[in-house]
Amino acid sequence: MLLTFALSSLRSSARKPASSRLPRPQLRFKTRLVSPAGFRMSSQQHDESKSKVLVFGAGNFGSCLADHLGDSSHTVYMWSRVEELVKHFNQYHRNPEVLKEHEFSESITAVGPEFPSAELVQSMDVLLFAIPTEGVRETLTTLRPTLDVDKLPLLIFVNKGIEINTRALTLEIIADTCGPAIAKVATFISGPSFAAEIIKRQPTSVSVVSLSAAHAERASQLFHQPWFRCYTGEDPIGVELAGALKNVYAIAAGMAAGLGFENNTAAMLITRGLAEMTRIGTAYGASPLTFLTLAGVGDLFLTCSSSTSRNYTVGYRLGKGEKLDHIIKTLGSVAEGVTTAKGLKAIVDELGVAAPIASAVGGISSLVASSTYL
């Protein structure tokens, strides 16, 4: 039987300062949470119609998903704030900043640096957001006047983080900026999926979730290919939290490796990290079963055990004694676990759950950021 959880009122648009204590996160929805059979393999019957997709963000993940969709015969536009990137991409079909050796599908057109026009946005079937969580509110605020609620494109979010000043999940940010009706049909994709492997068409599976089962199915059909399998569900809160929290535990795993600890320690951190993620998620109202899916333990294992992970790399370099500021400047891409970790200890304390690993990483991140540690 599907569990039910009443999520009362969403935070108002007026946010309290970061220094003030915020109440336990609450949402203005009623949502069904995932049951033991709640994550379902997407039907392999493809929708033959091809879509027009606008990808916000030209980083690792935005670029690889644009390539995946372009190679699936969809028409893709990829927005970047960097004028040089837009020009270079359109001339050579290569991204000069990430995945540099890959030649991208000719079905992709880069746009920018100006924000996409209302005419372009309104001609799209799908809007895919592959930008850091800290930029989602600004982007949606700018975008909202161009959205026609009666003819709304499919909205897909692939960012993994918690807004640091407000402690808001992306679902809350969507509701704040665009309204609850739009948030209810927003779709989220998460799971063990390194960009460098997706562009090589290596077998990959992800979780695709929404409060609307129909919209989750639409998104899964958009992405499904023999090498890219989607499993749908209806617990966006759990999937969002899993995607944000696993980055924090990846920093911990990287730090342990950087300090010279080996397999026993890694196994401990992954196992106890999963327990902490589940506790935190359950306190938010997510289903504990979500943390046993691709978006939960699958992504946690991948991110905590590979030097390809940006968050693992941040932790490893911290363990080796580097300063956080220097690591961030030279990393080449965003590690969302850093910002998530900074606000996580306060969230854990507010929820009243035991999460010593997450709290420790949050404390270390704050100390390193203020140059009083290492």
What amino acid positions are annotated as catalytic residues?
A: 246
> What one-letter code names the amino acid at 294?
L
Among candidates 229, 129, 144, which has minimal Cα distance to 187? 129
DSSP conformation class of 126: E
Calpha distance 197→190 (Å, rounded): 15
- H or E segment to which residue 5 belongs: strand 3-7
DSSP for 295-307 reads IIIIHHHHHHS-T
Q: Tell me if 270 sits within 8 A of 303, measured CB to CB.
A: no
> What one-letter code names the amino acid at 166?
T
Q: Which residue in the block uniquely carries the two structure tokens 């639409």? A: 218
Task: Output the CA angle 23-25-29, nearest 5 degrees.
Answer: 130
Calpha distance 233→213 (Å, rounded): 7
